[in-house]
Chain A
């Protein structure tokens, strides 16, 4: 267990290593990214074992949601790094002759990444890819709620990455509290909004910029789809993404479905069939669904269902086994909106279906609640599509699918309002860990002689022309052919 003094000494050493310029060159950054690629390749089996132990994840789920995505992201960063690191020229007006302007990205310095337990590798290493690509030194604090994954990271990262530049600090809330009190050049935090407030308040003491990734109640709006093929695909995507990704314990999992009342029974039947096909007769035996991470969350979810009005609305599933921390995929039809189930982020395999008279009513429904991290809309209706984008606010909107936006390298991944601030993934990761420095280079040759005091009306008039980029006006003034303005 590290003492505060140890921590401060370590951080001081990391800052000195950074100041020595060791992490700035492209070759160092590439070597780190390649190190990560090798790690993901060589340690896949151990990572799978850790995910199985901590969360009961199936190896295919682990690959789909974490390992595969990380390989993709690391390779993407390697391919783009040169372009990301290069200075970008900025356009200047003619009046600024013999001057060049550019924006140069530079690392921020010493950064802190705090990750969550549900995608313990993905949420630790995806930000790490960005931080390293941007040339920073990094402290990573994985979640203690996924202890095997945390200790695997602590053991394995030093073997593949530069140990002077990347450190893993393990521990619980007390350790996190200690960490956030330090001075960082950036903090990227994934977790709950409650803890996010504490992180930002601590960051304020040092004017540390933050990226905060939370969650929220991500709605899926299911419009009436005329083709049965489309209905099947929609249901497959809804049910598949909800129950097969960490058993619904995901920030971008569909929290609840909104559907027109007249369509709800069809939807329910389709869902039941699909769940059966996905997980078989006995979902617990199928081992294709992750388990609830720990007793605390198991009891939290159990309590959500104990509300008698909520219990009465269960139309499928509902069985639980505390010993194996297993909760069956459970569907509820119109549970009461004031229930905790419909007020708090569910983060588990419970799927409420909310029915409304008209699908357009879903817009007001969504807007009367905190802005979610993701909004999903299944529709062919072009005007509904446009209204959804224009009239609601969320981190992202995905049409006709769910969760897949996470894998897109060209889209910013982040929330708004209660679902977070800032974003990352792809170039956005590089940018979030960089300072974009403005650089202007002037020549000694050209200057406007009227730049300097003593001041007079003539000089003022010249300046007026310059600022309007009125070259003709300026010429006329110089030639004495244009009078100064009065006053």
Chain B
């Protein structure tokens, strides 16, 4: 099995190339195309998640110190829902979509057929290592592809668990896991894939897309950014704060691509600090920072000169336990490090502005984030926000929950990513939409071909113009 290979030989270019060749053979045999195969694999993922929930919780605790409830809800339950939704809709998704045809191709009928792309590569991230590995796999399988999954080495327990479980529950002729770090990923990226789906940061995203360009491989890149929260006055502050808090620190202690990165509000809302002070967030309900690299990165953001004095709540850290307490900062300078890179941790800067409308300029002057949030009851402000802030997704009066909505595409724009998935968007991301036209041998247009005459030109103009009257006139010799 793939997980055991790691102990035997290094996974190099040659190994990657023969893996792809093997999977291409499996795909060419047609195994993955049938409804039965896709359905059985999705059921396998579901059973796997049900039967091993405790193992998943244990792996996530080992990798991230993730509280059981977060593991169960945000990883296992969400993956289960993804499988169930795909199982429910699969037959419908697989059906060709009939489309209307017009006079220009009369008489004809046409449809759009979804076909699998072939052999796809999924590279996932470390912060929701179970969900972000398998959610794209759900889409790839539903669309009938053969899959290679490369989980993040920064969450090694989950990576090993995935290799073991997928080997037991899935059809290993067409679904494989490759564990490893940079060398293994590089070897994989050298190969020709029919699609690459990457979740992670923009720096590596560029490397992935550049590698894909060599083979003209289309990509989905799920990246991140600084997701802002705009907080207006005149709202139910308690509910807003609760939602912000759980969206930030209740999500892997802020290490999530759609966690609120920073808040923008007007000066009259200083009550925010005191409210947070009273909120009972105990550290046993919080994930730890994933590793010492990220711990160092985050403490550097906190300790920068112009920033360290701006801490108004928290700031405590424990390097032995890799724990950083929920920390709030007020009015850090715009040019500080913490305001210029994605925080991905439990630090929440609050910026104050004179008029809330200024917040839109602040947001739009930076890179487009994966998500943006606003808390307000002001209808005009809401609409202005929705129409003028560009981000992957927006939520009004909450944070992060749009992730769970199957009917919404989940993906970024600009620096926050390319493409989208979830629900049917996952199926589409891993499909080729093939146009199929059925023409009759009747009703031709000898007018289409030479020798060209004025009469033919008139008729052609009428046909392309789609007007019946025009056609009749052209046929009867008037223009």
Contact = CB atoms under 8 A, between A and B. Distances in A.
Interface of A: 19, 21, 24, 58-61, 63-64, 68-69, 71-72, 90-92, 96, 101, 103-104, 106, 108-109, 185, 193, 196-197, 200-201, 203-205, 207, 209, 212, 227, 229-230, 233-234, 236-237, 240, 244, 277-280, 286, 288-289, 367, 389-390, 393-401, 404-405, 407-413, 416-418, 420-423, 435-444, 447, 451-455, 459-460, 463-464, 467, 487
B413 A437 contact: yes
23 contacts: A63-B464, A68-B464, A72-B104, A72-B464, A72-B466, A101-B407, A193-B216, A196-B216, A197-B216, A288-B450, A400-B438, A405-B437, A408-B437, A410-B100, A410-B102, A412-B433, A417-B194, A439-B396, A440-B396, A453-B281, A460-B68, A467-B77, A467-B81
Given A92-B407, A463-B73, A487 B435 contact: no
A438 B104 contact: no
Interface of B: 28, 33, 54, 67-69, 72-73, 77-78, 80-81, 99-102, 104-105, 108, 110, 112-113, 115, 117, 194, 202, 205-206, 209-210, 212-214, 216, 218, 221, 223, 235-236, 239-240, 242-243, 245-246, 250, 280-282, 285, 364, 377, 382, 386-388, 390-398, 401-402, 405, 407-410, 413-415, 417-420, 432-441, 444, 446, 448-452, 456-457, 460-461, 464-466
A389 B436 contact: yes
Contact of B391 (A417, A437, A452): A437
Nearest to A200: B213
B245 A440 contact: no
State the main secondary structure of chain A at its contact with B: mixed
Contacts of A439: 386, 393-396
Contacts of B434: 389, 393-397, 416
A59 B457 contact: yes
A452 B245 contact: yes
Contact of B397 (A58, A409, A443): A443
A487 B53 CA distance: 10
B216 A421 contact: yes
A343 to B, nearest CB: 18
Contacts of B395: 439-442
Nearest to A434: B413
Nearest to A394: B434
Interface centre among A234, A412, A442 (most CB of B within 10 A): A442
Contacts of A411: 99, 110, 112, 435, 437
A265 B92 CA distance: 46
Contacts of A61: 452
A459 B69 contact: yes
A230 B441 contact: yes
Contacts of A69: 464
A185 B439 CA distance: 38
B439 A60 contact: no
Interface centre among B212, B397, B437 (most CB of A within 10 A): B437
Contact of A236 (B104, B417, B446, B460): B446
A201 B210 contact: yes
State the main secondary structure of chain B at its contact with A: mixed
A389 B386 CA distance: 42
B364 A19 contact: yes
A398 B221 CA distance: 33
Given A101-B402, A185-B414, A201-B210, 6 more contacts: A63-B464, A103-B408, A395-B434, A438-B410, A441-B395, A467-B80
Contacts of A395: 434-435
A460 B72 contact: yes
A396 B96 CA distance: 13
A230 to B, nearest CB: 5
A437 B392 contact: yes
A221 B67 CA distance: 60
A288 B451 contact: yes
B433 A399 contact: no
Contacts of B450: 58, 60, 240, 244, 278-279, 286, 288-289
Nearest to B81: A467
A441 B216 contact: no
Contacts of B246: 451-453
A439 B393 CA distance: 6
Contacts of A454: 280, 282, 285
Contacts of A21: 388
Nearest to A393: B115
B386 A280 contact: no
A444 B213 contact: no
Contact of A229 (B113, B117, B409, B441): B441
A467 B214 contact: no
A467 B449 contact: no
A386 B242 CA distance: 56
B228 to A, nearest CB: 15
A411 B434 CA distance: 9
A404 B108 CA distance: 10
Nearest to A398: B437
Contacts of B410: 438
Contacts of A400: 438-441
B280 A453 contact: yes
Contact of A207 (B102, B104, B223, B432): B223
A404 B437 contact: yes
Contacts of A423: 433
Contacts of A389: 113, 434, 436
Contacts of A200: 209, 212-213, 216
Contacts of A19: 364
Shortest beta-carbon contacts, A-B, top 10: A240-B449, A90-B407, A288-B450, A204-B209, A200-B213, A438-B393, A60-B452, A438-B408, A396-B435, A411-B435
Contacts of B419: 209
Nearest to B410: A438
A207 to B, nearest CB: 6
A410 B432 contact: no
B202 A399 contact: no
B76 to A, nearest CB: 9
A68 B236 CA distance: 58
Given A412-B435, A487-B54, A288 B213 contact: no
Interface centre among A204, A395, A407 (most CB of B within 10 A): A204
Nearest to A212: B216
A441 B402 CA distance: 9
A440 B112 contact: no
B213 A204 contact: yes
A435 B401 contact: no
A416 B452 contact: no
